[in-house]
């Protein structure tokens, strides 16, 4: 492969700027652009930083810098590598790079260093992807998932699953190739159990994808409930600042208001929604109609946000429900009943607001059944921190079956796992219907191939081009 070079630090000004060169010419190019200060210098002792002058291609000094040579194969790419650690001015690092390019190096393409590491067997594909994902990780938890992939935890788990399928395939081949001989092969019931075991492990990995997606992209949690329940006040309390307008007039919030916050590493879009009217004049099943066309639009947006939500906080007006409001067999708030119906299977948390005015006589409410509940006061801040912790746990509840070690495939890896799972589920149906083993082997091969896409064992060049084109140039 040709020797490549690139700037490895972000653009702009900084304390240090690193220029990286990789390939068989790395040591020779370093010797031509670097003049050491030490009189005892001996031919770039590996893995040792040397101080000296960086020179341009004409031999003119550019910077007082450090240089290091790292021989392969014990390097990131498996090839010889060298780095110049210059002062972090854009002009300096660009001039140092141009010196290397003028002497025979080629400008590295996006992700070319990581691609060489993959091609040279220094890491499998999910590890290579984790390099870029660590750099762009938006939260500490997402960083942990990326680091686990970089350590090879996901790749080794997928390789184990692929090996399990290969072992099953060997026994299938025996049954197909020697149907009349007395050889040990897999009985249909054992075959089905082996396939389901691999499928169950894949489902757990996909549950981790959901959890990681929430950590990366954030969860959308709307605050919904009746008019004047204190949703805007609760938003302000959770944010620690006055973001939403709060008045004693019912229906102050006519539109939804979204704000970003971080709940112990989980990015969350908190949404303050327009209140749903629930007056004594309403029927037992429905909240009161909106007071006008503007409020009607706000109410519709509230229901839209409810459908989009990853989790829901149902805010109850404790002062209006009174001490006995928690004793009833059914929720006495028509707006809350409507939300409970529309929320469906979404994770939902009851927030009994205004507990400083009126605390419930029983807790949790009898009609709440198994729903998580928290009594809070947006005015005094009582139990607001507890509510925030409950909300975080609520948002992550949909991924409760995720692997405990933090294995979380990215979107590409999850797609390959979903395809493998689909093949295994179809295979289970074929086994149940008594399909011949040679037909079953086809689905088994397809599932193994999809698992191979995760680690790059069976990954076309076009897909590799797409993956590594998303990397930065210096990595």
Instruction: Give the pLDDT band of residue 55 (cuts 50, 70, 90).
Output: very high
Beta-bridge mates of residue 5: 21, 107
| Euclidean distance between CA atoms 326 and 114, whole angstroms | 59
Confidence of residue 173 (pLDDT cuts 50, 70, 90): confident
pLDDT attached to residue 402: 52
- Coil/strand/helix, residue 53: strand
**Please, which residues bridge with residue 69 across strands?**
82
pLDDT attached to residue 464 = 84
Q: Which residue has the tokens 């691999």?
A: 198
Lowest mean pLDDT segment, chosen from 5-14, 141-150, 377-386? 141-150
- Is the pLDDT confidence value at 419 over 90? yes
- Count of CB atoms within 10 A of residue 247's CB? 10
Best CA proximity match to 4, nearest among 87, 92, 90, 83? 83
Please identify, in words, the CATH class of the domain defined by 131-212+410-468. mainly alpha
**CATH number listed for the domain at residues 4-108:** 3.30.1360.120
The yes-or-no verdict on residue 335 having pLDDT over 70 is yes
What local confidence, expressed as pLDDT, does residue 116 receive?
A: 93
- Residue ranges per structural domain of the chain: 4-108, 131-212+410-468, 222-398
| CB proximity list for 415: less than 8 A, separation 6 or greater | none
pLDDT of residue 279: 43
Alpha-helical segments (H) within 180-230: 188-217
Give the separation between CA 293 and CA 151, rounded to whole angstroms.
56
CA distance 40 to 408: 50
- Directed axis angle between helix 125-135 and helix 437-455, to 10°? 40
Q: What is residue 300's predicted lDDT score, i.e. its pLDDT? A: 60
Q: Please answer whether residues 76 and 117 qualify as being in contact, where contact means their C-beta atoms are separated by less than 8 angstroms.
A: yes
pLDDT at residue 122, rounded to an integer: 92
- Phi, psi dihedral angles at 311 (to 5 degrees): -155, 160
So what's the pLDDT on residue 190? Answer: 86
| Residue 50 backbone phi and psi in degrees, to 5 | -115, 140
The pLDDT of 375-402, averaged and rounded, is: 81
Averaged over 4-27, what is the pLDDT?
Answer: 93
DSSP state of 104: T
Residue 132, phi then psi, degrees to nearest 5: -70, -35
Q: Per mean pLDDT, which range of 103-107, 252-256, 257-261, 458-462 is the poorest?
A: 252-256
pLDDT of residue 259 exceeding 60 = yes
Average pLDDT on 446-469 reads 86
What average pLDDT does the segment 339-345 reach? Answer: 78
Indicate whether 283 pLDDT > 80: no
The CATH number for 222-398, chosen from 3.40.50.300, 1.10.260.40, 3.20.20.70, 3.40.50.1820, is 3.40.50.300
C-alpha R_g of the chain: 30
**Sorting pLDDT into bands at 50, 70 and 90, what band is 285?**
very low
C-alpha to C-alpha distance for 224 and 316, rounded to whole angstroms? 9
Q: What is the mean pLDDT of residues 288-302?
A: 55
Q: Is the predicted pLDDT of residue 216 greater than 80, yes or no?
A: no
- Read off the pTM: 0.69
Sequence-separated (6 or more) residues with CB below 8 Å from residue 119: none
Looking at residue 6, its pLDDT comes to: 95
Q: Is pLDDT above 80 for 432?
A: yes
- String of DSSP letters for 109-130: PTTHHHHHHHHTTSS-HHHHHH
């Amino acid at each position: 492969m040709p020797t490549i070079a690139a700037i490895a630090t972000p653009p702009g000004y900084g304390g240090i700027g690193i220029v990286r060169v990789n390939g068989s010419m790395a040591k020779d190019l370093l010797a031509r652009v670097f003049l050491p200060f030490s009189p005892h210098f001996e031919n770039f002792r590996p893995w040792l930083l040397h101080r000296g002058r960086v020179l341009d291609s004409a031999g003119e000094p550019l910077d007082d810098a450090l240089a290091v040579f790292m021989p392969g194969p014990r390097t990131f790419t498996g090839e010889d590598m060298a780095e110049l650690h210059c002062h972090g001015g854009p002009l300096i690092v660009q001039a140092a790079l141009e010196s290397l390019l003028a002497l025979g190096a080629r400008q590295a393409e996006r992700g070319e260093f990581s691609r060489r590491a993959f091609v040279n067997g220094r890491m499998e594909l999910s590890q290579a992807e984790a390099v870029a994902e660590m750099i762009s990780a938006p939260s500490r938890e997402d960083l942990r998932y990326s680091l686990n992939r970089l350590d090879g935890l996901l790749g080794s788990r997928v390789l184990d699953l692929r090996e399990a399928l290969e072992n099953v395939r060997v026994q299938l081949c025996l049954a197909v190739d020697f149907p009349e001989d007395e050889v040990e092969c897999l009985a249909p019931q054992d075959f089905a159990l082996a396939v389901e075991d691999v499928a169950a492990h894949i489902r757990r990995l996909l549950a981790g994808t959901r959890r990681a997606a929430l950590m990366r992209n954030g969860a959308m949690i709307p605050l919904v409930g009746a008019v004047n329940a204190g949703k805007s006040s609760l938003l302000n309390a959770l944010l620690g600042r006055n973001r939403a307008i709060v008045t004693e007039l019912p229906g102050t919030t006519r539109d939804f208001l979204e704000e970003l916050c971080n709940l112990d590493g989980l990015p969350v879009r908190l949404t303050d929604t327009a209140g749903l009217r629930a007056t004594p004049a309403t029927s037992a099943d429905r909240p009161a109609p909106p007071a006008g066309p503007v409020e009607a639009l706000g109410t519709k947006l509230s229901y839209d946000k409810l459908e989009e939500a990853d989790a829901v906080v149902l805010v109850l007006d404790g002062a209006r429900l009174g001490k006995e409001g928690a004793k009833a067999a059914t929720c006495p708030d028509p707006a809350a009943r409507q939300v409970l119906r529309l929320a469906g299977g979404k994770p939902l948390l009851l927030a009994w607001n205004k507990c400083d005015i009126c605390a419930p006589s029983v807790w949790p409410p009898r009609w709440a059944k198994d729903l998580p509940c928290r009594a809070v006061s947006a005015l005094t801040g009582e139990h607001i921190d507890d509510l925030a912790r409950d909300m975080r746990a609520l948002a992550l509840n949909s991924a409760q079956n995720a692997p405990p070690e933090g294995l979380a495939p990215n979107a590409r890896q999850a797609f390959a796992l979903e395809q493998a799972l689909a093949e295994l589920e179809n295979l289970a149906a074929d086994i149940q219907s008594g399909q011949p083993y040679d037909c079953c082997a086809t689905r088994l091969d397809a599932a193994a191939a999809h698992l191979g896409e995760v680690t790059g064992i069976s990954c076309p060049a076009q897909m590799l081009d797409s993956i590594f084109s998303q990397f930065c140039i210096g990595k």
